Amino acid sequence: MTRILWHLGNTTVRSPFRLRDGLVALSGSSLEGALHGREQEKQFRNLLGNMGIVELGDDKTFSVGRKWRSALSQLGFLIPELPSKLGIHQAELGAADTISENGKRLIQATTVPAMQECFLRALAAYQIPNPLENNYNYISFSPLKFTLAILTELESRTGDSKINFVEVGIFLLRSGGDISVSEIVDQILEFREARVNVGNKKAFDNKARQVRGVELNYAATTFNDYADTTIRYLKATGLVTARGRGIAIYEEKRTLIQELLIHDAVISDPLTYYKLLCHGAELPTDEISGAKHVLKDVYQRAKRVGIEVNDGVLLLEDVGRLNSERYRVEERLSQVYEEEYAKNQISQVEEILEYLDALDSNSRSRGDNNGINIPSSERPAYLEWALWRAFLAINHLTNKPYEARRFKIDQDFLPIGTAPGNGPDLIFEFESFVLVVEATLTENSRQEAAEGETVRRHVTDVMGLFPNKRTYGLFIARNINTNTAHTFRLGVWYTTQDKQVEFAIVPISLKQFRNMFTVLLTHSEDRIDLIREFLERCVSLRTQCDTPEWKKEIGDVVLNLT
């Protein structure tokens, strides 16, 4: 019998953290509990589009609403509609399409670790096949725990837990409850041995996908699509980390992983399974012994980097206090790691430039296993992230890297969304001035409508936070629309009290920023002075010419930077 590939998540909703945005939108609407039917799917699709969560496009079947409902139900964030053949009354589980307990937990999560815990609870409970996904031709198993067991076995045999992107697609996703961990690892290691002396490894990998595609009756590209979304959902648990385009065990979570793998029972009763899925699986840290074990490990890591901890907390018999302390120390650890990441950006200039070039050319840049990868739906987030990294490389900031960004990042310092709309994208504080950076991929006449008011408001708001420092705005887009530039050239904003505020916002293209960035890196001590001189020069020119000429003059200033 031909084997069916499994995958986590939904290829329509590739970024798991976007599911939270959908839940937040749903919770504030009248649609909760009514997502089945063509009209309801249409309304849900329109809700997601109007909230900026998806692009509406020309979807005449309104499949977006159906696919989002499916993605949320699959992981138990929405209570699924149970088929009558199960013989279970819907009331025993709860009203279909209403937000579950774990879904409410995800809505309430405001930090990345809290969100990751919700996804961990979901995927620790999730198993396939299950009563609503019963087309798989093998016995039920936990994809999350099976993957973690494979990574652990790889590490035991090779000293490294990493599994490559191509290996995820052609080996991991054809595993299941009837294939042992050791058998899958044997296949991976045989593949690696055959690949060692191959000259063109990319062609070798493509051939492997094609052969496996013929064997299993899948298009070769399906292995990539399924591997991509599966890796994203695995990473959303916080238990694995990116290694190139593959994954490996996240060292900081090793103790929790070991605790999870101790218990790997499959639930056969449908009602019991869905109750657990909608509630979210119990974690080792929900019990006193597990909470203490994991906190002790966190304390050891904190001490190694010089963070003071209170060992007396380990004597407490209060799970809530133990986990609250773990959250606190883990947050401080992440800040220390981020500060180290910021220091290292000066050595990552080549990669930063590749991201800027890929964003400017609207491409993914390198496509090999170790190359950069920018998912099309996440390009706005990657733009903010690449610019943040560029300024970390420029250095000389007086605020912390986590204070400079308003978007969230995961354990690999990758973005998991754009900055929220109630403030600027980036705020960089230097000794003598503050720079507010706003970035967009919006172009043409829509750019001014989407960005003109918000950018001016955000810059003037920041001006109020730093009354003793000059505040500038830098607006960056692939192409600067003249109407947008004209809005900034006027340099005036009125508060709600009709008070006139003069601001200084300079619009430049992404390519111009890239050129300026490379020039700044040739300077050491005076690069910050050069940034300010550039901004002041551009601001002074706005009263001397009309908007098209101002845009040209800004370009000339960039070209003349030395």
Q: pLDDT per residue over 436-478, tens digit each?
A: 999 999 988 889 999 999 999 999 999 999 999 999 999 999 9
106-110 contact pairs (CB < 8 A, 24+)? 106/19, 106/20, 106/23, 106/77, 107/20, 107/23, 107/24, 107/27, 109/20
The answer to whether residue 365 scores a pLDDT higher than 60 is: no
* pLDDT for the residue 382: 95
Structure tokens belonging to residue 362:
């609207």
Instruction: Enumerate the β-bridge partners of residue 249.
Output: 240
Tokens 């249409």 label which residue? 42
Distance of CA 60 to the CA centre of its chain: 29
Burial 358-384 (b: 16+ CB within 10 A, else e): bbbeeeebeeebeebbbeeebebbbbb
Look at residue 368 in the predicted model and tell me its pLDDT: 44
DSSP string, 185-230: HHHHHHHHHHHTT-S-HHHHHHHHHHHHHHHHT--HHHHHHHHHHH
Query: Residue 369's pLDDT is what?
Result: 44
Rounded CA-CA distance 237/239 in Å is: 5
Which pLDDT score, from 0 to 100, does residue 371 have? 64
What band does 44 get if pLDDT is binned at 50, 70 and 90? very high
Q: What is the pLDDT of residues 100-110, one digit of tens each?
A: 999 999 999 98
Distance of CA 112 to the CA centre of its chain: 9
**pLDDT at residue 431 in the model:** 94
- Closest residue by Cα to residue 143 from 162, 161, 129: 129
Percent of the chain beyond pLDDT 70? 97
Q: How far is CA 495 from the centre of its chain?
A: 35
Q: Which pLDDT tens digit goes with each residue over 287-340?
A: 999 999 999 999 999 999 999 999 999 999 999 999 999 999 999 999 999 999
Q: How far apart are CA 208 and CA 369, in angstroms?
A: 14
356, pLDDT greater than 60: yes
Helices then strands, each counted (H, E), the chain: 23, 8
What average pLDDT does the chain have?
92
Asked if 351 contacts 386 with a C-beta cutoff of 8 angstroms, the reply is no
Domains and CATH numbers, the chain: 343-559 (3.40.91.50)
d(CA 345, CA 532): 22
Examine the pLDDT at 227 and tell me if it is beyond 90.
yes
Res. 367 pLDDT band, cuts 50 70 90: very low
Answer yes or no: are the C-beta atoms of 177 and 266 closer than 8 Å.
yes
Q: Is the pLDDT of residue 426 over 50?
A: yes
Model confidence band, residue 263 (pLDDT cutoffs 50, 70, 90): confident
Q: Is the pLDDT of residue 1 over 50?
A: no
Is there a contact between 184 and 172 (Cβ–Cβ < 8 Å)?
yes
Please, which pLDDT band fits residue 139 given cuts at 50, 70 and 90?
confident
Q: First CA to last CA across the chain, in angstroms?
A: 67
Instruction: With a cut of 50, say whether residue 501 has pLDDT above it.
Output: yes
Centre a 10 Å sphere on the Cβ of residue 399 and count the other Cβ atoms it contains. 12
> Per-residue pLDDT for 366 more than 70?
no
Band the pLDDT of 61: cuts 50, 70, 90. Answer: low
pLDDT score for 525: 79
Q: Which of 58-72, 164-178, 188-202, 275-289 has the lowest mean pLDDT?
A: 58-72
- CB-based contact 148:163 (threshold 8 Å): no
Average pLDDT over residues 392-410: 95
Quote the Cα angle for 175-178-179, to 5°: 50
> Would you state the pLDDT for residue 557?
95
Residues 416/408, Cβ–Cβ less than 8 Å: yes
Backbone angles phi, psi at 502, to 5 degrees: -95, 130
